[in-house]
Copies of this chain bind each other. A is one copy, B any other.
Amino acid sequence: MSVVAAKRPLAVSMCGGLLGNARATSQREIVRSARNFSGGEVNSQKDDREKVVVLGSGWAGYTFARRLNPKKYNAVIVSPRSYFVFTPLLASTSVGTLEFRTALEPIRNKRTHADFIQGWADSVDFFNKRISIEEAVDDPRLGLAPTGRRHVELSTGEHVTRRKGKTFNLDYDKLIITVGCYSQTFSIPGVREHALFLKDVGDARRIRKRILACFENAALPTTSDAMKKHFLNFAVVGGGPTGIEFAAELHDFITEDLAKVYKNEVGFAKITVYDVAPTVLPMFDEELGKYAMKQFAREGIEIKTSHHIKSLRKGLPDSENSQFDPKDEQYCMTLDVQEEGQIGAGMVVWSTGLMENPFVKNGLGSSQLIKTTDARLQNISEDQAVDSDWIARRDKKTGSLITDSHLRLVMEPKEQGDKGITATLTDVFALGDCAIIKDTAYPATAQVASQKADWLAKELNKGINGQGFRFNNLGVMAYLGNWNAIVQLETGKVSGRTAWFLWRGAYLTKSVSWRNKILIPMYWFINWAFGRDVSRF
């Protein structure tokens, strides 16, 4: 089971041995490929447990790792993030209704029973059961939604290509792929560079800083009314639950708190939600959708459906360019909307769904492939044994990995085109936003991801049996601002204040740790009693 090194095969030690975990480690070894190395010791403690490597620490990966029986499996989470994000509360943290850390759970925790390596999975060698990992401890985009090539630095405005981090190999007995998706920008010019996303805690932090900076800039004595209007124009692109809940939280923040401390500026503030579709919140039924629209109208949040964004850039709209100080250019951005022309804005929050993860596209199958004769390849759909290399099958439209109902990877022959020949790879599983079960249309939500994770952990804990995964739809909820929400269950629907209570209750119940179960209601109370904090740092 030991692994071959490329140049200087000085075996260092086991993952399990080096990571914060005193449990014995298996005989698998990590080897630094093609790089000099000094020191290090070979750790060859016995570990009878199977080594389960989990790629990703989101709803699927984190939930799975926590549920897996540590007596039976030695789990290692590999993720660029050292924490799990409780995404439904992210919009609340982005305006200070909750403190950022209340939406986080650290992966390293006595109760998680999993080792952790902070890194990006680079590629998988299905044949040798080995993953190549790039270290990510010092990733400059730590905590931000991934939107594209991760070695291209956007923060400075120019695209600077970073050097790749160190890479090393990690062996697995079972591999769980839960790498999720990137944020979709449809390659609209300037969006990756200038829009803010809302997928990770770093995004929430940037949004909170940006909102406060816009108000503070507007409050400077040198700021004209025309510039105030730009600085305090907040655009949200994407009318799904993330975009809508963020708009609602922003509305609350402005009317409940910022209005009191920026009395002369608040009149310039405006929130607009853009979407290409004819309606927002398409997952809700018509009645709740209408209720939401009425609620937004009351709050002054403008919803612009069937609108198309052409570009986003820094600087003022062309028509006003000559009127202003060149320095205003730095703090204003221009959103070009097909139906409206150029709009000056202080902040654009982007939430238009998911984009295929490059690891799923490029990283899977870049190394030695599975042969037809491999015992791990089962349920080959053609009687004639196909003499071929097999690769992971992906959905033609979304690029998602396809699994069977046991969440095992569905493979297809590499060179056979789309003849529909498939097989199952029995030691690799995929779940979360990066995977779909063939012939199903479960949505890419936290609910599906965590149910799959729960199911798979139980399945592995007791040994796989006949019954496949089935999604149990628990309904959908969305916060609408001003203490109103909509909740749509299989059994009925609720809107208004009652729905808001359900919304808060559900997320409080689902929040993971006792720490957060205490802190979350504490902050709800504190911020209700004293207002949200407006310190910006």
Within 8 A of B (CB), among A488-537: 513-515, 518-519, 522, 526, 529-530, 533-537
A213 near B535 with CB under 8 A, answer: no
For chain A, the bracket of interface size reads 35 or more
Contact pick for A536, options B17, B38, B142, B530, CB 8 Å: B142
A138 and B220 alpha carbons, distance in the complex (Å): 12
Stretch at the interface among A96-104, A270-278, A374-382, A393-401: A96-104
The reply to whether the CB of A74 lies closer than 8 angstroms to some CB of chain B is no
User: Which A1-40 residues have a C-beta within 8 angstroms of B?
Assistant: 12-15, 17-22, 30, 32, 35-40
Which chain B positions have C-beta within 8 A of A147?
none
Contact between chains at B327 and A165 (CB < 8 Å) = yes
Chain B contacts for A30, CB-based, 8 A: 221-222
Stretch at the interface among A236-244, A257-265, A304-312: A257-265
The number of times this chain is found in the oligomer is 2
A108 at interface (Cβ–Cβ under 8 A)?
A: yes
Bound form: Cα–Cα A200–B217 in Å:
21
Contact check: which of B38, B106, B137 meets A324 at CB < 8 Å? B38
- Are B213 and A18 in contact (CB-based, < 8 A)? no
Residue pair B137, A217 in contact (C-beta under 8 Å): yes
Determine whether the beta carbon of B117 is less than 8 Å from that of A220: yes
Tell whether A338 is near chain B: CB-to-CB under 8 Å: no
CB-CB under 8 A from A536, the residues of chain B are 82-83, 142
Complex interface bits, A102-129 against B, C-beta within 8 A gives 1, otherwise 0: 0011101110000011110000000000
Q: In the complex, are the beta carbons of B12 and A221 less than 8 A apart?
A: yes
CB distance from A120 to the nearest CB of B (A): 13
Do B537 and A216 touch across chains, with their CB atoms under 8 A apart?
A: no
B219 engages A20 (CB within 8 Å): yes
Are B225 and A40 in touch, CB under 8 angstroms? yes
**A330 and B138: CB pair below 8 A?**
yes
How distant is the Cα of A116 from the Cα of B323 in the complex, in angstroms?
Answer: 27
Interface string of A318-341 (1 = CB under 8 A from B): 000001110100110000000000
**Given B101, B142, B264, which contacts A19 in the complex, CB threshold below 8 Å?**
B264
Q: Does A224 contact B (CB under 8 A)?
A: yes
Chain A, range 27-70, C-beta contacts under 8 Å to B = 30, 32, 35-41
Task: Tell me whether A353 is interfacial, beta carbon within 8 Å.
Answer: no
Is the beta-carbon distance between A537 and B205 smaller than 8 angstroms?
yes
20 sampled A-B residue pairs with Cβ under 8 A:
A12-B222, A14-B221, A20-B261, A20-B262, A21-B264, A32-B222, A36-B325, A39-B226, A82-B535, A99-B101, A108-B262, A118-B219, A135-B220, A137-B217, A137-B220, A138-B217, A143-B537, A165-B327, A515-B533, A519-B526
Interface residues of A (CB under 8 A from B): 12-15, 17-22, 30, 32, 35-41, 82-83, 99-101, 104-106, 108-110, 116-119, 135, 137-138, 142-143, 165-166, 168, 170, 200-202, 205, 212-213, 216-217, 219-227, 260-265, 323-325, 327, 330-331, 513-515, 518-519, 522, 526, 529-530, 533-537
